[in-house]
Amino acid sequence: MVSRPGDDSQTSRLSLALGGLAAFAVYFAMYAFRKPFAAATYIDVAGWHGAIDYKTALLIAQVLGYALSKLIGVRVIAEAGREARARLILALIAASWIALVLFALIPAPWNVVCLFLNGLPLGLIWGLVFGYVEGRRASELLGAMLCASFILSSGVVKSAATLLMAAGVSEWWMPAATGLAFTPLLLIALWQLERLPPPDARDRAERVERVPMPAAGRAAFWRAHGGTLTMLVLAYTLLTAMRDVRDNFSAEIWAALGRGGQATLFTLSELPVAVVTLGVLGALMLVRDNRRALLAMHALIAAGAVILGTATLAFQAGMLSPLAWMTLTGAGLYLAYTPFNAMLFDRMIAAIGTAANAGFLIYIADSSGYAGSVALLLARSIAAPHLEWLGFFERCSYATAFIVLVLTGLSALRFLSAPLEGRRHATI
């Protein structure tokens, strides 16, 4: 068979498209092992006599496991290659599912520990999946597809969990049952993702080769760029905490808005968010200049903060319906939050010109972000235990919008003042 001109490029585009869909599906399926329990309220649990409510204790336990996993991942993901990656992903998710089975079998309060064990392996999945798509000319598009998975999957998984409970599955067995339902999708997607070829020569020339980072390399990178990274990590910490409050307590927020128990709301409020985020972030692939793309992402983060604050103000003024407000706050949070999970650090490495990998930076930000999430949950439980989640989310939206705007502006100014392009080791 004689190949025609353009066959190779068409095959490459098809391979990338399938790889992006596979990355989306793998992380989408992973959420079925992480988030379904958030669809339940766990009120008046027998055997629970803690100072904080039972569901908050579950969330804190899972986030602590997840945060510890992110700390471990700073080293593991930074030094990881591609060998046996798919088997590791599958083993980690299987371990998390076993923890969900134990959660159903062990009574309260002891089963709280099972959520810690559930979160511990899952924190490594993002870095392992992102390692397949980083360092490419199409990384923005692939990364946007991957990021859309955790925006959309959270709502879909909670909708599926709500339907399972309506069908008679108890709130104790519902998390394990939801994960099991998504297992076929996980297996098929993981098989397809493993078929994605590595970055080619043009990718490496334009986006810098991505290599494992030993301890000395990580320390040198932080010494050179720690000032800017600190501001970005602080902003991301706030965004992660707010994202988690909205995500984990959406059932309580919808109930306070008078729309509780409606399974479709979880998906209806997240689907537009995923579409908008995917479109906007994917379009950054068209910006070839790395510093301009980096600054454009700063602008997106700032825009997301503005949307979060102004949408809350409009809702409190009676100008937005509950569905419109939840959709807009989701859009604002995810426009600001999502670049940190893929494109921002990928472009930062390309702009600086230092051989590295984005997973190292993502896991520094993530470990801080989930620590912030735990801190916010504890602050609410201790300082304002009787404040409804709706009012708490509204108040925190204003503070987050303002602080993120300030930190993002300062970071952008540092990038503007540093002549990154053309210099392989610019200090920012």
Expressed in angstroms, the distance from the first to the final Cα of the chain is 53
The helix (H) or strand (E) run that includes residue 60 is: helix 54-79
- Residue 195 is classified by DSSP as T
Residues whose CB falls within 8 Å of the CB of residue 385, separated by 6 or more in sequence, listed in order: 52
- Residue 35 is classified by DSSP as S
Q: How many CB atoms lie within 10 A of CB 321?
A: 12
| Helix, strand, coil tally for the chain in percent (to 5) | 75, 0, 20
Quick one: 187 and 306 in the same domain?
no
Quick one: 167 and 243 in the same domain?
no
* 8 inside domain: no
Quick one: 130 and 237 in the same domain?
no
Q: State if pTM tops 0.75.
A: no
**The domain that contains 367 carries what CATH number?**
1.20.1250
Residue carrying the six token digits 């969330």:
59
Quick one: 202 and 220 in the same domain?
no
Instruction: Among 161, 188, 206, give the residue marking a domain's end.
Output: 206
Instruction: Among 206, 224, 249, give the residue marking a domain's end.
Output: 206
Instruction: Among 188, 206, 224, give the residue marking a domain's end.
Output: 206
Phi, psi of 356 (to 5 degrees): -160, -165
The helix (H) or strand (E) run that includes residue 300 is: helix 290-316
* R_g of the chain, CA atoms, integer Å: 21
* 6 inside domain: no
Domain that holds residue 332: 216-420
Domain count, the chain: 2
Tens of each residue's pLDDT in the chain, 428 residues: 444 444 456 667 788 888 889 999 999 999 999 989 888 888 888 889 877 889 889 988 998 898 899 888 877 776 766 677 899 999 999 999 999 999 999 999 999 999 999 999 998 998 899 888 877 877 777 877 887 787 778 788 988 999 999 999 999 999 999 999 999 999 999 999 998 888 878 877 776 666 667 778 778 888 888 888 899 999 999 998 998 888 878 878 888 888 776 767 766 777 787 777 777 877 777 787 888 888 999 999 999 999 999 999 999 999 999 989 988 998 899 889 888 876 788 788 777 777 666 777 888 888 888 788 888 888 887 777 777 889 899 999 999 999 999 999 999 988 887 654 443 333 34
* Beta pairing partners, 356: 210
* 379 inside domain: yes
Quick one: 146 and 25 in the same domain?
yes
